Each structure stands twice: as structure tokens, then as C-alpha cells.
């Protein structure tokens, strides 16, 4: 079985990808320092797949520790590199922390990949590299715009680093540009665990619905769109996860034409903030407590993907509808809520 190193395997997209890899016959191992995660999702992975995935609690900015993992696993056939900080707002206030963490860890992983002759590398990129696009939908050929945040800059630089290292030979790579990953595994055994108050729309919606957030603010309804709110391409995390398996198989089967290929991962459907809220209200049968607020600085009016390339070359076929994205996100939120209540009751009984 092909051993695949997943960095950030305890995180949201990493954990869903590990499940998809296992279901497709791969043998994933994880490196995650749990600085922004816990091992909770590994437990969920075990419940779903029956496989106990090994996690190395290693900080990838520490080269020696990272190297030691490769020394222990000289049979790694591919790397999927998720590990990174991802809070856009935080990156504006702590740019050095973002550049240091996201870039040094990537460099260290690539140095090890070269030294241990790992042939395949997949990099977790983002539609944020397109900035505010002149034309939508965006294709992989659309221009890269100046980054809107240090986080976005780390994704742009990360792409450049992977591209340049690939040019030196030995390594074949794929850059996957995610649009807005949302939802959770249909079992509700794994999902997103936002730290603190969520910045992203879907966890903000589900947390409002359970009362963790008092009121959801819609950031602006005076944009030049069909209902005035911003348009995004929400894509289910299990569909994103499966694209990683397909990308890896594409490289393993030598189907790549370029040593470094790029694919957009979005459904191709633009959905407004208000449409997303209404889809949630429909599937949950709840009325969401929301109000229109001011625009959020840095928000792009509208972006969605042209995903023809991923469909044609990787045979990617995203399965989940917007209603299913909202439905699985909601089921996961209810599960978290139930777990929290159980925990509180247990504590109450102990005291």
C-alpha cells in the first residue's frame, strides 16, 4: 500500500482527505503539531474507517524533527501538504508569524522530499491567489493578483516555491486551488473545529443557529450582485478531499503532462451570502437570526470557479449540492453541541 504523508492531518481538510485516501487503498500517516488542532479528528477517522492513523506531533518549522519523520518512513510515495495557518484577519496583524510558519514548514517538507526522493507532491492552495478577478468564472489561466493579505501572500509564494523546486527534477507536483470548502463528513464524525469566533460564513451560520453566536452579520447587501450580497463558490469538503486522491493517482499513473499542474477546486456555481443562509434555513427548518451589516474590508464582490480542467484531467466530479453542504455542516454542529452537553453533564455529576 502506498504510504502517503499528510501534513496537517488533524485539521479540517486534512482529516477528510485521510478518510478518502484510506477508502481508496492508500496508507496515510500524518504530521501535525496540534497548534491549531487536536487529535479529536483522528478518533473520528478511526470510527469511520477502522484505521488508526499515526500522527507525528512535530512542528514542521523544525527541520531536524521533520527530517527524523522521513528517516523513520523512507517508503513515503507522496506528500499532501496542508499544514499552515489560515486565518486571513490574524495574518494581517501577525504577518511575520504567517510567513515564518507557512513558508519555513513548506521549505522543510520540500527539502526532505528532495533528499528522500519522494516522487509526488500536492500543495494546498487557494482561490485567494486570484485576488479580485476581472472576469468570472476564473480559470487556472486567470491572472494572479497582488495578495490581499499575508495569508494570501504565503499561498502565492508557496505556489512559486513548489513550481521552482519541481523544475529541478525528481518531484512531480500539483497545486490545488480551493474555493470555499464547507460542510462535514456525512457521518458527522469529523468536521470543522473553528478556533474562537469563526470568520467563515458556514460555521458562523451553524453557530448562530445553536445560539453560540447571538446574531449573524451579513457583511453588506449593497454590492452589484443579484441580491446585493457577495458571491462565492462553496464546495463540499469531501469533494475537495477526493480531488487530492485523484490528483495523487494522476501523478502515480504518470498522467500529468506538466511536472507541476494547477487545478481549480470549486463547483462552478456562484452562491450569494443570502442564498447560502436561505439554503441553511430550508434544510434545518429554522429561521436564522441575522441582520445586514457593513461591508467587511478586503471582501471580493464575486468569485467562482471554472472547474473544467479538474473534471477533464483528474475526472473530478463534485457530488454534494448546496443543500447537502448545509445539511452536513448542520449535522456536525448538532453533534458538537450534543458532545458539549454530555461533557457538561458529566462534569456536573462529578462535582
Enumerate residues 9-68 that contact ligand WQD by CB under 6 A: none
Query: Looking at 105-113, 213-221, 317-325, 327-335, which segment touches ligand WQD (CB under 6 A)?
Result: 213-221
CB 348, min distance to ligand WQD, A? 32
Q: Which of 232, 236, 244, 250 lies at the binding interface for ligand WQD (CB under 6 A)?
A: 232
Should residue 88 be labelled a site residue for ligand WQD when binding is judged by CB under 6 A?
Answer: yes
CB 321, min distance to ligand WQD, A? 18
Should residue 200 be labelled a site residue for ligand WQD when binding is judged by CB under 6 A?
Answer: yes
The DSSP bridge pattern shows strands 27-31 and 55-56 to be: parallel
Enumerate residues 258-287 that contact ligand WQD by CB under 6 A: 273
Q: Which of 151, 178, 234, 290 is catalytic?
A: 151
Q: Which of 58, 218, 240, 279 lies at the binding interface for ligand WQD (CB under 6 A)?
A: 218
Q: With contact defined as beta carbons under 8 Å apart, do 107 and 161 qualify?
A: yes
Should residue 235 be labelled a site residue for ligand WQD when binding is judged by CB under 6 A?
Answer: no
Should residue 199 be labelled a site residue for ligand WQD when binding is judged by CB under 6 A?
Answer: yes
Q: Which of 51, 157, 193, 217 lies at the binding interface for ligand WQD (CB under 6 A)?
A: 217
Q: Is 151 a catalytic residue?
A: yes
Task: Pick between residue 139 and residue 200 the one whose CB is nearest to ligand WQD.
Answer: 200
Task: Pick between residue 70 and residue 290 the one whose CB is nearest to ligand WQD.
Answer: 290
Query: Looking at 49-57, 68-76, 97-105, 195-203, which segment touches ligand WQD (CB under 6 A)?
Result: 195-203
Should residue 225 be labelled a site residue for ligand WQD when binding is judged by CB under 6 A?
Answer: no
Q: Which of 17, 102, 128, 256 lies at the binding interface for ligand WQD (CB under 6 A)?
A: 128
Which residues lie near ligand WQD (CB under 6 A)? 88, 126, 128, 178, 180, 199-201, 204, 216-219, 230, 232, 273, 296, 299
> Which residues carry out catalysis?
151
Amino acid at each position: 500500500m502506498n504510504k502517503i504523508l499528510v501534513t496537517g492531518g488533524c485539521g479540517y481538510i486534512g482529516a477528510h482527505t485521510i478518510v478518502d485516501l484510506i477508502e481508496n487503498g492508500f496508507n496515510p500517516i500524518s504530521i501535525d503539531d496540534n497548534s491549531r488542532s487536536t487529535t479529536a479528528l483522528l478518533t473520528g477517522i478511526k470510527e469511520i474507517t477502522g484505521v488508526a492513523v499515526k500522527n507525528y506531533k512535530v512542528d514542521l518549522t523544525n527541520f531536524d524533527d521533520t527530517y527524523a519523520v522521513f528517516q523513520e518512513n523512507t517508503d513515503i510515495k507522496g506528500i499532501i501538504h496542508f499544514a499552515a495557518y489560515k486565518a486571513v484577519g490574524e495574518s494581517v496583524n501577525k504577518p511575520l508569524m504567517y510567513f515564518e510558519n507557512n513558508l519555513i514548514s513548506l521549505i522543510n517538507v520540500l527539502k526532505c522530499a528532495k533528499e528522500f526522493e519522494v516522487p509526488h507532491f500536492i500543495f494546498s492552495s487557494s482561490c485567494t491567489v486570484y485576488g479580485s478577478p476581472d472576469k468570472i468564472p476564473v480559470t487556472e489561466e486567470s491572472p494572479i493578483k497582488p495578495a490581499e493579505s499575508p495569508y494570501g501572500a504565503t499561498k502565492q509564494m508557496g505556489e512559486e516555491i513548489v513550481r521552482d523546486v519541481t523544475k529541478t527534477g525528481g518531484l512531480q507536483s500539483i497545486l490545488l486551488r480551493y474555493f470555499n470548502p464547507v460542510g462535514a463528513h456525512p457521518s458527522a464524525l469529523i468536521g470543522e473545529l473553528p478556533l474562537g469566533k469563526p470568520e467563515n460564513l458556514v460555521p458562523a451560520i451553524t453557530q448562530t443557529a445553536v445560539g453560540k453566536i447571538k446574531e449573524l452579520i451579513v457583511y453588506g447587501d449593497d454590492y452589484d450582485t443579484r441580491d446585493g450580497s457577495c458571491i462565492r463558490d462553496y464546495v463540499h469538503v469531501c469533494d475537495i478531499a477526493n480531488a487530492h486522491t485523484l490528483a495523487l493517482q494522476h501523478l502515480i499513473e504518470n498522467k500529468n503532462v506538466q511536472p507541476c499542474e494547477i487545478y481549480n477546486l470549486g463547483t462552478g456555481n456562484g452562491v450569494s451570502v443570502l442564498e447560502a443562509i436561505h439554503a441553511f434555513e430550508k434544510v434545518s427548518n429554522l429561521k436564522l437570526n441575522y441582520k445586514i451589516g457593513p461591508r467587511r474590508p478586503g471582501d471580493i464582490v464575486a468569485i467562482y470557479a471554472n472547474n473544467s480542467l479538474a473534471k477533464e484531467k483528474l475526472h473530478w466530479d463534485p457530488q454534494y449540492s448546496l443543500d447537502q453542504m448545509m445539511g452536513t455542516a448542520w449535522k456536525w454542529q448538532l453533534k458538537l453541541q450534543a458532545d458539549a452537553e454530555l461533557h457538561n453533564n458529566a462534569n456536573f455529576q462529578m462535582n
